[in-house]
Structure 1
Amino acid sequence: MSRTVPVGFRGCSMWAWDVSLGILLAQTVQVGEEALAAEPENPWLAPTLVELRRHALLGAHAYLDLDLDLNDSQREQLLGMVSEASRRLRQRDAVTRAEIEGWRIVDDQKLPWRSPIEALDTQPIADLGQALIDLVRGDLPPAPAGTLWYFGVEDGPRTIPPVGRGSVG
């Protein structure tokens, strides 16, 4: 069953659909691995990719703090990777359960498919990537009072209450 994931940065928060977040993080890790192969002396990137893999696998079981113990320059590089992952997702129409089941995140661990739908539109996933970038840069507009933004869903973005974590239907 899919669920909401709290995501935050320096006191600002939003919600993400765990299925979309896992796919976005997996794509960001792929971009990051390409960057690491090109610049293996990048000491911060390998541990950051480990953390992103962990969150892709955990889904709704852990708050994602986008601080990630990075300095501003490193964080901007990471946001560039999120942007590239989003761009790649926008180039395609959908991602399928069969495709995701072939992705290995850590060793032989696969990205969990927590959706009852066999194929997902990639645009809401890419929109989630932009929302993460906007959250970190302080460009995400405030949600209406008493709510937080919820990204990564087909009919989103939308808002939901900030307290508790519930199932997405």
Structure 2
Amino acid sequence: MSRTCFVEFNGAGFWAFSDSLAVLLGQAVVVAEEIAADRRSAAFPDVVDQLRASAVVPDLGLFVDVGWRGDRLDLLLRLIEEANRRLGERERVTASEVAGWTTLGDDVIELRRDAMDTAPVIELGQGVLQLLRESLPPAPRGMWWFYGVEGGRQTIVMRTV
């Protein structure tokens, strides 16, 4: 399992610490599963399935298809916003707590450490929201943004092939 993963929408993106993305997306799935069945849009299964897969297999990162406009994108934005709000109510999450999020089915999120601060996860969530709203400021030339790490957003050098 990689320590980093890529988050992408509409040709733009950034790198993220995979544990932080897993916690953010896992919390978004928890939020989604609390939505009453009669209030779920037709987009619900697609969005939640992608969030669930990306949460438990962090190497996938989060790829949001450019075709996800309207209901799908609106739902994704609402779920990330609420996940961020809930994570903001606490300072830390534990690996055992995250592994117990039963809305992920038989799969579990496995963190590399026993606990992690929520501040980097929340900052990552804000970056995802900016990316989806196409308001993420560009990284410095030749660099990528790197979210979800202690100490706040950083940059990493783009490698050319």
TM-score calculated relative to the size of structure 1: 0.85
Match of 1:124 among 120, 123, 127: 120
Segment of structure 1 superposing worse, 87-96 or 67-76: 67-76
Computed over aligned residues only, the root mean square deviation of the Cα atoms, in angstroms, reads 1.9
Q: Which residue of 2 aligns with 1:3?
A: 3
Q: Which residue of 1 aligns with 2:133?
A: 137
Aligned residues of 1:95 and 1:119 also touching (Cα < 8 A): yes
Aligned residues of 1:101 and 1:111 also touching (Cα < 8 A): yes
Q: Which residue of 1 aligns with 2:110?
A: 112
Residue 87 of structure 2 is aligned to residue 89 of structure 1: yes
Does the C-alpha gap of structure 1 residues 39 and 90 become closer, same or farther in structure 2, counting only changes over 3 Å?
same
| Percent identity between the two aligned chains | 38
1:69 Cα deviation after fit: 4.2
1:45 Cα deviation after fit: 0.6
Count of aligned residue pairs for this structure pair: 160
1: distance between equivalents of 2:103 and 2:39?
A: 21
1: distance between equivalents of 2:25 and 2:125?
A: 9
Secondary structure in structure 2 of the residue aligned to 1:51: helix
- Map 1:50-65 to 2 at 5 A: 50-60=49-59, 62-65=60-63
TM-score calculated relative to the size of structure 2: 0.89
1:71 Cα deviation after fit: 2.2
